[in-house]
Structure 1
Amino acid sequence: MTVRIKDCPLAAAAEFIGEWSTLVLLHEVFDGITDFEAMRENLRIDPDLLRTRLDALVARGVLERRDDAPNHYAPTPLGRSLRPVLLTLAAWGNRELPPADRGMILVDARTGEEAEPVVVDRHTGRRVDTEEYVFTPGPAASDAMRARFSKSTGSTNGAA
């Protein structure tokens, strides 16, 4: 059962991403696997299912078919904006695994050193995974959303 909270950006993002295969397909494209047949072979996926999922990503504006090669896909700016999410999610998944059990790791392409991505505020450069950063209702928040955050943060005005 899908739970959709009208004014929750996390719920909206999860709904937009949809199937886990969205992330896997984006991973393929970010790794340079842009050809339909190469994706099908790498992922061992039914071609009709793959076409359906790729068509959905094109329809949502995440991928586009390349004009010079219609069976090749490229990320749109929207698709590229998901790359940091994938990098962070993959690193999070590795965090609990012993190093010998990791199927892939994120490294600096120049040095080969393993990287550990963190999320920072663009304006201050400060990490946002601390108690110093909290959610608060936004301008379009419903009464329920405002009530939720007025209890947990004391904020009811939507200011950050």
Structure 2
Amino acid sequence: MPEYPVVPGRPCAVASTLELVGDRWALLIAREIMFGNRRFSQIARNTGAPRDRLAARLKSLVANGILERHEYQATRFEYHLTEAGKELFPLLISFLAWGDRWAVEEPPMIVEHHGHQVQATTVCSVCGETIDGRGLHWTPNTPGWSMAGPEA
């Protein structure tokens, strides 16, 4: 079982997540593996990552339980997403939707689901309502912390 990252500042799952997969290469690696590109050379070509940085990032993603390494030839490996890695899919779809709207002039990729273009949204699995920031209540769950920050 990987150790969870310790991050400075407010105890927060967002900060811990970013510590694990918050750099450019981690999410692009996950994207490529989701596309079926599992070999180092394919990942390097399609992400543009420097080979030394890619090797280090793959190693850390394996160590953190996000990827698994499978040998397909002597000393040659493919990378596969673990359950934790597969659960990055909604995050990547959300990044894609945000990027299509705010980061590019024309979407470089179209994602379809059963013949219609995907429209990413976050929905509460209990009540079915779209989560858009309204109606949320935040409760700190770490001793010594309030919404304003550390308690004196």
Counterpart of 1:10 (choices 8, 14, 30) is: 14
SS in 2 for 1:73: strand
TM-score calculated relative to the size of structure 1: 0.77
For structure 1, which runs of at least 5 residues remain unmatched after alignment? 150-160
| Aligned positions, number | 141
Moved more, 75-84 or 44-53: 44-53
**What fraction of aligned residue pairs are identical, expressed as a percent?**
27
Q: Which amino acid aligns with 1:102?
A: P
Q: CA deviation at 1:67?
A: 4.6
Counterpart of 1:65 (choices 54, 60, 69) is: 69
SS in 2 for 1:22: helix
Q: Runs ≥4 in structure 1, deviation > 6 angstroms?
A: none
SS in 2 for 1:104: coil
For structure 2, which runs of at least 5 residues remain unmatched after alignment? 1-6
Question: Counterpart of 2:4?
Answer: none
Structure with the greater relative contact order (CA < 8 A, sep ≥ 6): 1 or 2?
2
Counterpart of 1:105 (choices 107, 110, 124) is: 110
Distance 1:18 1:132 in 2: 27
Distance 1:130 1:53 in 2: 33
TM-score calculated relative to the size of structure 2: 0.81
Structure with higher strand content: 2
Question: Counterpart of 1:155?
Answer: none
Give the root-mean-square deviation of aligned CA atoms: 2.2
Distance 1:11 1:35 in 2: 29
In the alignment, structure 1 residue 122 sits paired with structure 2 residue 125: yes
Question: Counterpart of 2:134?
Answer: 131
Question: Counterpart of 2:143?
Answer: 142
Q: Which amino acid aligns with 1:25?
A: I
Question: CA offsets, 1:23-45, max 9 Å, x none?
Answer: 10000001111111111222233
Question: Counterpart of 2:3?
Answer: none
